[in-house]
Structure 1
């Protein structure tokens, strides 16, 4: 392999007549003047006399071909492989044409590929590093396996190990990729590695898929039991908001989130006036309901007449209710009725969703024990709940760090990671949501307090720009939309050549653009140790359901075979109308069983007989 053509301090062309090059492959160039230079292949092509010179643009222009002839390559007889190589560190002078090039040994590029070994996240294999496997350090061998073309394959290259401790300096991770690109799969692998290190983590899971109890079909040496490392909690049944711990501001944020947007000033004013310190849900809801009823009755005089009527009837419960209503009405009668109704309706909806029936103690205890807490619920309810949850946890950690800084005594609260799927729903670009402000605060200041973000989204163009700019590591899977690719190009050091490849990446392949690594690295994610409940192909699921349906039908009627035309009504009445509503529908079921091979038909002078085939 040799350098050919016109060179400069940043890019050269390397040619070979023996072996083709791979994109992102690292090469060593031995320049007699400047010594050893390292470069990465950014474009590859091949040339022979049967291919027009301009088929690949400038890759095989006249200057390179003339240089090849001068170097002794028989371009009219051999296929020549050509690589465009970008130097990793700019050279002092243009690279000498004719300089020898070779594949490196691992210790020559170790500093470029492996930033840590201890307490790192082993995410997958760095692509185009197969040649380094023979010289790799022993403790980096056989750490995982990958899925290649549907087959499980042993590690074939240098592992990509993410230095999570460096997040203290370069915080937050973004995971971008379209549907089916491997984005959620990649997030699962990252969370598995985090659990191995016992790093406290909260995951907001709107798809109910981040359960780590079901293992993949892997060799036992790669397996790991995560059952004591994570806890799945569902909003309403396992966790919720302890209403009496809410401040007025918390309550406004929660009800605002339930309104799918910011509350009107009048609604916020209703809450500020009527919410009292240490209110329970029932005391606050009763106050609102009594005022609403008072507005419907009309005025204080009418309420007094109803009170006198209740006293005359001896109805003590109504007497107490009307007395309390008069007290509430006299204090809050200037509250706008329409705004009151809006607040009450949203409050009652949150209660029906189970938000006020639990607290977050299980989340706090799980974090103190180094667990990953998966919070599951519908996206809308997660949006509401996350506002309270994130704020509470973040400020507990912040208060502890501030107290420690001041030398004051405080209960320990651990550093932790917040992981979101569909993060553009929580922190959208262009409009405000209650959760967006706290996420933005963590993105900008969380590093100081040891709180970090992992934000996954299919649409990076819809994620708030301030937050996107704070993601120092971006993992980019297959992305098709031009607007999303433009955002990725703006926010990463991905080259234009790599950006062109984004729509065509195989599921599970990704580019990692990280300040920690110092350059963009292509990787293939390892196989996950666990598997999602959504892994079954829906068409296989449909076939299985239909097959079970026909098997159940066969088992119901098999004791009645043979079935003649005259027997259809009797058999249907015995097996039940749930199998078929009428005789015609019953015949259709029997014909389907014939088609599926359970039953056969024999013709006779009296008509078709259905016979058991098994």
Structure 2
């Protein structure tokens, strides 16, 4: 292997007759004057006599071809392998053309590839293009991962990709981007497993109910770690919620604004006028309902009722109370009062005010991964409250320590969410957006970090996207998203072209820690999602199970005449939990007879369904 063609301080071309080049592999240039610079293969191709020279659209120009011919390559008959090599560090002057090129030993490139201790870092996968280094990798880095390729499991061949979570103090926040089926959610699962391994307090918002870590992948056998005590799943409205008496008027305004399409100024005024410190849900809800009724009936209607001789003493007191409320709050718009009522009732029906967030806080204090599940709109509302709550607990503790005071300890934490563009959309206000934006910009100082995953990076708030110092980029097809990722990362033009064709589970990692983009294959996860089964396999399995159950009842009644169908159907519906009608039952009998499960025999007078004949029967 040797350098050919015109060279620059950043890029060179390398040619070889004996070996093909692997994309992303590392090579050493034997240029002593530049202290043996190292580079990565970013594009590779082969020439042979079957390719008309000059007709290809490759990156290799005429000067490279002329250089190959001058040093003895027979372009017309030899197969010539050419690679475009990008140097890791810019050289002070161009590399000398013709210098030999060789594959490195692992120790020569260890500092480029490994940035963390394997026992203290997050072991996320294998670095693509490092397979040639596998034999020289140190024992501390061997057998760290297993991978799945083309549906088959394989052992580690190259260098494991280790992410040092401690570097988030300097380069905070992580973005995980990729289209449907790209492996984005799978990669996020692997990251969360490593969070649990390191016992980093982590809060996950799971709108898809898929972040369950209780089901281990069988192929791992006994090698799979047990996460039972490392994670906790809670559902909004069941195990966790909002303790209403702790809400201030400002927090209540934010909360109710999140439950609908925002609050108008008159609605905010209604809450500020009617909400009292330490109000329970019921006291505030009753006050709201009474004011609404008083305004709706009006002074004339209430006075008319007050003078009604048939009113009981209790009813008289109630009318007096309504008149007092009317005199005090009669200027509030009725539509605004009812709008606040509707939003409050919606949250109450969802169970938001039946619990508190003590389980969340306790889980984080124990260093566990806390998964909060719920519908997207409910998670948006709840996340507004819980993110602000834990962020200010952490911030108050750090501020107290900075001022030399003894604050109540609350641990540093990581907030994780899939479908992040729903929580912090670009150009649109969303309930948790303000809190996430503040953490993105200021959280590093207080030990609060973000991991945001989305299929549509273009739709994510630009301020937040700019603060994601590490980005995992899986397969992305849309041109606008690719353009956004190119702007926000150091992906080269060649890597951008590869994005639509990446295999599921392959990802470009653009990290300030590495100072370049690393191509990684995500390791096999130890656990799997409850949604991992193929829905078409599920459909077939349920259909087979239902057929077996119903056929068992039908066969016990054979032979069946078409005059008896209603009696047999009654028993089928009762024993199998069906709700079939006679017409549906006939259709199923016809299908079973066509499949050979039963036999249909017709006569001029009656149709009979019977057992199929067995071998040897006449």
TM-score between the two structures when normalised by the length of structure 2: 0.95
**Deviation of residue 412 (structure 1)?**
0.5
Change (3 A) 1:295 1:64: same
| Pairwise CA distance, 1:569 | 5.2
Corresponding residue for residue 519 of structure 1: 516
Is 1:403 the counterpart of 2:400? The answer is yes
- Is the deviation greater in 573-582 or in 374-383? 573-582
Deviation at 1:434, TM superposition (A): 2.6
Shift of 1:35: 3.1
Within-5 A mapping of 1:179-328: 179-220=180-221, 222-260=223-261, 262-299=262-299, 301-309=300-308, 313-316=311-314, 318-328=315-325
Instruction: Check whether the contact 2:474–2:506 (CA below 8 A) recurs between aligned residues.
Output: yes
Corresponding residue SS for 1:511: strand
Partner Cα distance (1:149, 1:55) in 2: 34
Deviation string 1:38-85 (CA, Å, 9 cap, x unpaired) is: 011111000012202234435444322332233233333321110010
- Structure 1 length as normaliser, TM-score? 0.95
State the Cα distance separating 1:162 from its structure 2 match.
Answer: 0.6
Once the two structures are overlaid, the 10-residue window that deviates more, 399-408 or 70-79, is 70-79
Runs of 5+ consecutive residues of structure 2 not aligned to the other structure: none
**C-alpha spacing 1:531/1:334, structure 2 compared with 1 (3 Å):** same
Aligned to 1:459: 456
Q: Counterpart in 2 of 1:93?
A: 93
Give the structure 1 partner of residue 586 of structure 2.
587
CA displacement, residues 255-286 of structure 1 (integer Å, 9 cap, x when unaligned): 100113x3111111111111111111111111
Residue 608 (structure 1) shift: 5.6
8 Å CA contact retained: 1:47, 1:60? no
The answer (yes or no) to whether the contact 1:427–1:439 under 8 Å persists in 2 is yes
In 2: Cα distance, 1:515 partner to 1:580 partner? 61
1-side partners of 2:55 and 2:306: how far apart?
93
Which residue is equivalent to 1:360? 357
Superposition RMSD in Å: 2.0
* Aligned mates of 1:149, 1:507 — CA distance in 2: 10
The answer on whether the counterparts of 2:187 and 2:505 sit within 8 Å (CA) in structure 1 is yes
Deviations 1:345-364 (A, max 9, x none): 11111111111111000000
Among 519, 532, 547, the residue aligned to 1:535: 532
Instruction: Note if contact 2:416-2:451 (Cα within 8 Å) is conserved in structure 1.
Output: yes
User: Could you tell me which residue of structure 2 aligns to residue 431 of structure 1?
Assistant: 428
Over residues 578-607 of structure 1, what are the superposed CA-to-partner deviations in whole Å (9 max), with x where a residue is unaligned?
A: 767555433321222234453244677876
CA contact (8 A) 2:214 2:228 kept: yes
In the alignment, the residues of structure 1 paired with residue 265 and residue 567 of structure 2 have an alpha-carbon distance, to the nearest angstrom, of: 71
DSSP-derived class of the 1:298 partner = helix
User: Are the counterparts in 2 of residues 580 and 586 from structure 1 also a CA contact under 8 Å?
Assistant: no
**Partner residue in 2 for 1:155:** 156
**Structure 2 Cα separation of the partners of residues 602 and 65 of structure 1:** 80
CA distances 1:510-549 after superposition (whole Å, capped 9, x unpaired):
1000111111001011111110011111111111111122
Query: Contact between 2:298 and 2:326, CA under 8 Å: does it hold in 1?
Result: no
The answer to whether the 8 Å contact 2:201/2:366 transfers is yes
Which residue pairs with 1:481 in the alignment? 478
Whole-Å Cα distance in 2 between the matches of residues 45 and 123 of structure 1? 30
How far apart are the structure 1 equivalents of 2:146 and 2:598? 46
2:475 and 2:507 in contact (8 A); partners too: yes
Q: In 2, are the aligned partners of 1:54 and 1:60 still within 8 Å (CA)?
A: no
Please show how residues 382-397 of structure 1 align to structure 2 within 5 Å: 382-397=379-394
Residues 598 and 293 (structure 1), Cα distance of their counterparts in 2 relative to 1, 3 Å cut: same
Aligned 8 A contact 1:177 1:477 in 2:
yes
The 8 Å contact of residues 196 and 227 in structure 2, kept in 1 or not, is answered as yes
Aligned-partner Cα distance in 1 for 2:96–2:486: 32
Residues 92-101 or 575-584, more deviating: 575-584
Using the TM superposition, give the Cα deviation of residue 320 of structure 1 relative to its aligned residue in structure 2, in angstroms: 4.0
1:53, 1:60 within 8 Å by CA — same for their partners in 2?
no
CA contact (8 A) 1:598 1:613 kept: no
Deviates more, 1:91-100 or 1:379-388: 91-100
Report the counterpart of residue 380 of structure 1 in structure 2.
377
1:590-605 pair list within 5 angstroms: 590-601=589-600
Find the counterpart in structure 2 of residue 12 from structure 1: 12
1:73 aligns with 2:70: no
SS at 1:218 equivalent: helix
Structure 1: distance between partners of 2:55 and 2:112: 33
Displacement of 1:87 after TM fit? 0.9
Residue number in structure 2 paired with 1:349 = 346
Q: Is the 8 A contact 2:4 2:15 kept in 1?
A: yes
Q: Does 1:337 align with 2:334?
A: yes
Aligned partner (choices 467, 477, 481) of residue 470 of structure 1: 467
Q: Please identify runs of 4+ aligned residues in structure 1 that moved more than 6 A.
A: 603-606
* Bigger shift: residues 16-25 or 400-409: 16-25
Local SS of the residue matching 1:33: helix
Q: Distance in 2 between matches of 1:163 and 1:221?
A: 26
Match of 1:63 in 2: 63
Counterpart Cα distance in 2 of 1:585 and 1:247: 59
Q: Does the 8 Å contact 1:144/1:222 carry over to 2?
A: no
